[in-house]
Structure 1
Amino acid sequence: MNILYLHGLKSKLSKEKHRILEKYGIVFSPDIDYSSDHVQPQEILRNYPDTEFNVVIGSSMGALNAYIISNWIGRPALLFNPPLTKHPKKLDLPKEKFVKGLTSKQILLGANDEIVDPVEALLFLGKHLRENELEIKIDPHLGHRIPPDLFGEQVSYFFSKLCY
């Protein structure tokens, strides 16, 4: 299983979270410079021309890119606090890479997130209900950062639902 993990703005995949992910497959986690452009799905995938990803996981700005990539390649996604309303004109790529049905997405939002407004994310998702199969969890105590134990729980649950 090939896992594409996309980190957030001014962040990297920690060794602890990498160890959690590598239990489920080969982890590809590019070092993304978001300074010139926050939305870079095509540039990210261009780095892996011969790799077929089975799942896409992202946190914050990486979750926004993971959302777009998931839709484009037709693969499931696990998204942590995606800022879906920050760049609305860039959410759609010109043409999907594969013909597909609904793409499943598991989304965790922090009710106390000071960076990504969970209400805005929910409003966006509500307008796009027919485009994805969604499972949304809102943690009333969670802020923007995802603690490793919660990350591990969400990753374990995500992979438990996949057939691989």
Structure 2
Amino acid sequence: MNILFLHGLESKLSDPKRAILEAYGNVIVPDTDYKLDPNTIQNLYDEYKNQDINVIIGSSMGGFTAYHLANSLGICALLYNPALPYRNKIEQIIPSTLPINNAPFMRIVLGAKDDVIKAKDNLNYLAQHSNPTTDYDIRIKKELEHQIPIGIFENETKAFFGKLGY
């Protein structure tokens, strides 16, 4: 299995989280600079559209990008506090030319205590932009802030892959 992991705005995949993901497959982590590249979605699509990517996992701005890539590539995604409703400060172009293949399954983990990306704003976005062919599993974690602690990451990743039969 090939796992595409998209990090947040100014973060990287930590070694402990990488180790959790490596239990499920090969982890691919592109070094993305969202501030300098407003065409990140298109560039990642072009890079990975012909590769064997089985799932996409993204956090924050990486969750925003993963949401759009998963819906273009038609693959399952796990999103942690995705920046779906927020793009005012960082320009990211959602290409109108990308194919629409709708992800079959998305697990979306939101933090009730996240003051960077409010859970209610993500829920409003999803209510307006969800599609009828995707099975959404939305989890609001009462103790979760914007950063994803290793325990929550491990449990949610395990649940995601369990739903997929791994």
What TM-score do you get using the length of structure 2 for normalisation? 0.88
> Which residue is 2:120 aligned to?
119
Matches within 5 A, 1:22-61: 22-37=22-37, 40-48=40-48, 50-61=50-61
8 Å contact kept, 1:5–1:28: yes
> Which residue is 1:144 aligned to?
146
Structure 1: which 4+ aligned runs deviate by more than 6 Å?
none
Measured in 2, the distance between the counterparts of 1:129 and 1:56 equals 18
Query: How far does residue 20 in structure 1 lie from its aligned partner after superposition?
Result: 0.2
Over 3 Å counting, the alpha-carbon distance change for 1:111 and 1:59 in structure 2 is: same
- Aligned-partner residue type, residue 153 of structure 2: F
Alignment deviations for residues 18-53 of structure 1 (CA, whole Å, 9 cap, x no partner): 000000010001111122246612212434465221
Q: Which runs of 5+ in 2 are unaligned?
A: none
8 Å contact kept, 1:38–1:61: no
Please provide the CA RMSD for this pair: 2.1
Greater shift after overlay, 12-21 or 131-140? 131-140
Greater shift after overlay, 100-109 or 85-94? 85-94
**SS of match in other structure, 1:46:** helix
**SS of match in other structure, 1:108:** strand
Q: Percent identity?
A: 40
Greater shift after overlay, 108-117 or 126-135? 126-135
Measured in 1, the distance between the counterparts of 2:102 and 2:80 equals 23
Q: Which runs of 5+ in 1 are unaligned?
A: none
Measured in 2, the distance between the counterparts of 1:94 and 1:103 equals 20
Matches within 5 A, 1:54-133: 54-87=54-87, 90-91=93-94, 93-96=96-99, 100=101, 103-131=104-132, 132-133=134-135
Over 3 Å counting, the alpha-carbon distance change for 1:141 and 1:38 in structure 2 is: farther
Greater shift after overlay, 88-97 or 51-60? 88-97
Query: How far does residue 127 in structure 1 lie from its aligned partner after superposition?
Result: 1.4
> Which residue is 1:18 aligned to?
18
